[in-house]
């Protein structure tokens, strides 16, 4: 139990201390006019209070991600605590902060535009496609699950539930951000926080088994390797590429740059704490990782969450579980569709007019139709690729931020080191995973290390290039 409380304390300290370091390196300007005021359009660019933005950001990036992923990551044992803490502080929160603040500095630009600005047009073309696919898959997956649950607990047919959810999605996508998202998301964000706190309270006071303390032993019943599978299993709650597609939504509403630390870095730390709580619940409630695996095999992550919630919190827990499994995915799906609309509009034209609901609907339909279709079929073979794609997007965002810092002659290592780490993760994973090349672990690890070293060489060349440019500028100025 000491490890659990120490991990929470470290996450809080990460926000108090390291977030300020990151903010100082980025270099905020509290006097700078934000896009919310420069580009006010009554749709996406709408000034909102920072606390609303923070709760919206938390719900955008969290949903069920830090719950389901953490429960499945708990199969590895307490080593998952290390990844959640280190990943959140030094990778995930840094990733989210730069995704949001770079968007803000570039007029509310979407993630692919930032990639194009700092990594080149070819990288932008690839990321545009990858991002749209990821958003469409997320919107589809986070629609089908709630629709199936609604259909199972009521008399509403599955297709009808699906249509109702998508009708809401489209409304949330084309209406001003402060009319739907800005009004209900803070409430749902508060529910997400309350749910996590209540589970933590129940674990400490009502479970007769102690939360396990740190061990570096791999406790996965299936003997799956920690590296790199844990880093892909627990993405939300440590680092997730989905976040950099969501951060521009809130970046377009910030009233001041000094709010960025609270909104972007702070929301990620909050998500890390939520993931930590659910990981602890998963590895404690069922007595062992073997018991957790049996529970997952019987009812999946949703069944595990429901059993833990109802056992620890009774009727309230059951209500929270249902709210969580239905509402939280929907609130991720609608913002996934909204960001898809924004990315698609920028892809068509930088000057695309979306300042009324009719124009917004025009850009929504091309991404909503495939999302709806995928939610009606068994596309699990595609969903298996989302985990890797998600971490690929995160890795590219970290490299984008690294080049941004190099270009501005700032401490690029805060992004470069986690970017190299994540490069190793995705390089090894795609060769080893069942949805990848299915090579042996040794061969996959060797290829992953080799590819990471090649990227490291590119990184060193970039450092050298930017240093030479800086010296040339200094010489000319002298």
CA distances from 180 to 124, 173, 351, 352, 424 (A): 31, 9, 25, 23, 40
State the sign of the Cα–Cα–Cα–Cα dihedral 299, 323, 374, 134: negative
Residue whose tokens read 């309350």: 194
pLDDT at 64 over 90: no
Tell me whether the omega of the peptide bond preceding residue 228 falls within 30 degrees of 0, making it cis.
yes
| Residues in CB range of 280: below 8 A, 6 or more apart | 4, 74, 81, 200, 203, 211
Q: d(Cα 83, Cα 296) in Å, to the nearest integer?
A: 21
Residue whose tokens read 């060797």: 446
**253: three-class secondary structure by DSSP:** coil
Alpha helices of 207-241 — where are they, by DSSP H? Answer: 226-233
Q: Which residue has the higher pLDDT, 215 or 441?
A: 441
Q: d(Cα 390, Cα 104) in Å, to the nearest integer?
A: 22
pLDDT at residue 2, as a whole number? 93
pLDDT at 382 over 70: no
pLDDT at residue 478, as a whole number? 61
Q: d(Cα 212, Cα 78) in Å, to the nearest integer?
A: 7
pLDDT at residue 150, as a whole number? 81
Per-residue pLDDT band for 416 (boundaries 50, 70, 90) equals very high
Angle at 468 between CA 467 and CA 471, to 5 degrees: 85
**234: three-class secondary structure by DSSP:** coil
CB 151 within 8 A of CB 428: no
Among 452, 444, 409, 387, smallest CA distance to 73 is for: 387
Q: Which two tokens stand for residue 153?
A: 């607990």
Angle at 434 between CA 445 and CA 214, to 5 degrees: 60
pLDDT at residue 194, as a whole number? 84
pLDDT at 32 over 70: yes
Q: Which uninterrupted H or E stretch holds 90?
A: none
Q: d(Cα 238, Cα 215) in Å, to the nearest integer?
A: 19
Mean pLDDT, rounded, for 73-89: 97
Q: Could you report the per-residue pLDDT of 250-293, keeping only the tens digit for each?
A: 999 999 999 999 999 999 999 999 999 999 999 999 999 999 99
pTM of the predicted model, to two decimals? 0.93
Report all structural domains of the chain as residue ranges with CATH numbers, in order of start: 2-378 (1.20.1740.10)
Q: Could you report the per-residue pLDDT of 302-328, keeping only the tens digit for each?
A: 788 888 988 888 887 777 777 777 777
Q: How far apart are the first and last CA of the chain?
A: 60
Tell me the pLDDT of the chain averaged across its residues: 90
| Residues in CB range of 465: below 8 A, 6 or more apart | none
Among 51, 22, 60, 36, smallest CA distance to 263 is for: 51
Q: d(Cα 196, Cα 186) in Å, to the nearest integer?
A: 16
Q: Which two tokens stand for residue 88?
A: 């959140």
Q: d(Cα 428, Cα 442) in Å, to the nearest integer?
A: 10
**404: three-class secondary structure by DSSP:** helix
290 DSSP assignment:
H
């Amino acid at each position: 139990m000491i490890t659990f409380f120490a991990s929470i304390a470290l996450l809080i300290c990460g926000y108090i201390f390291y977030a300020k370091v990151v903010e100082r390196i980025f270099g905020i300007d509290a006097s700078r006019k934000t896009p919310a005021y420069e580009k006010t359009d009554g749709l996406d660019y709408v000034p909102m209070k920072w606390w609303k933005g923070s709760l919206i950001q938390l719900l955008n990036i969290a949903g069920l991600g830090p719950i389901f992923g953490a429960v499945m990551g708990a199969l590895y044992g307490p080593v998952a605590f290390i990844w959640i803490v280190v990943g959140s502080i030094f990778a995930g929160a840094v990733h989210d902060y730069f995704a949001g603040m770079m968007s803000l500095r570039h007029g509310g630009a979407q993630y692919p535009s930032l990639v194009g600005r700092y990594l080149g047009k070819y990288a932008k073309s690839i990321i545009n496609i990858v991002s749209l696919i990821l958003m469409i898959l997320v919107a589809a997956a986070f629609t089908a699950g709630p629709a199936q649950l609604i259909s199972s607990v009521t008399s509403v047919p599955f297709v009808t539930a699906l249509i109702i959810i998508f009708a809401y999605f489209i409304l949330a996508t084309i209406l001003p951000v402060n009319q739907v998202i800005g009004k209900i998301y803070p409430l749902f964000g508060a529910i997400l926080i309350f749910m996590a706190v209540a589970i933590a309270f129940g674990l400490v006071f009502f479970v007769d088994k102690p939360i396990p303390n740190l061990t570096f032993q791999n406790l996965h019943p299936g003997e799956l390797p920690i590296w790199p599978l844990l880093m892909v299993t627990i993405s939300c709650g440590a680092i997730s590429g989905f976040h950099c597609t969501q951060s521009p939504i809130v970046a377009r509403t910030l009233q001041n740059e000094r709010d960025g630390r609270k909104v972007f870095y702070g929301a990620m730390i909050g998500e890390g704490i939520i993931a930590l709580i659910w990981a602890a619940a998963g590895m404690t409630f069922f007595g062992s990782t073997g018991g957790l695996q049996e529970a997952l095999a019987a009812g999946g992550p949703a069944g595990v969450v429901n059993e833990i919630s109802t056992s620890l919190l009774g009727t309230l827990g059951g209500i929270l579980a249902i709210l969580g499994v239905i509402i939280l995915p929907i609130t991720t799906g609608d913002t996934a569709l909204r960001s898809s609309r924004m990315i698609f509009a920028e892809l068509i034209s930088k000057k695309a007019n979306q300042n009324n609901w009719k124009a917004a609907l025009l850009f929504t339909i091309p991404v909503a139709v495939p999302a709806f279709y995928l939610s009606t079929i068994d596309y699990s073979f595609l969903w298996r690729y989302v985990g890797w794609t998600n971490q690929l997007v995160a890795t590219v965002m970290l490299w984008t931020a690294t080049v941004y810092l190099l270009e501005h002659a700032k401490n690029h290592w805060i992004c470069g080191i986690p970017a190299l780490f994540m490069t190793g993760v995705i390089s090894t994973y795609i060769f080893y995973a069942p949805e990848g090349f299915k090579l042996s672990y040794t061969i996959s690890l060797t290829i992953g290390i080799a590819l990471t070293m090649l990227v490291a060489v590119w990184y060193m060349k970039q450092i050298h290039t930017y240093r030479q440019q800086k010296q040339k500028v200094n010489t000319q100025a002298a």
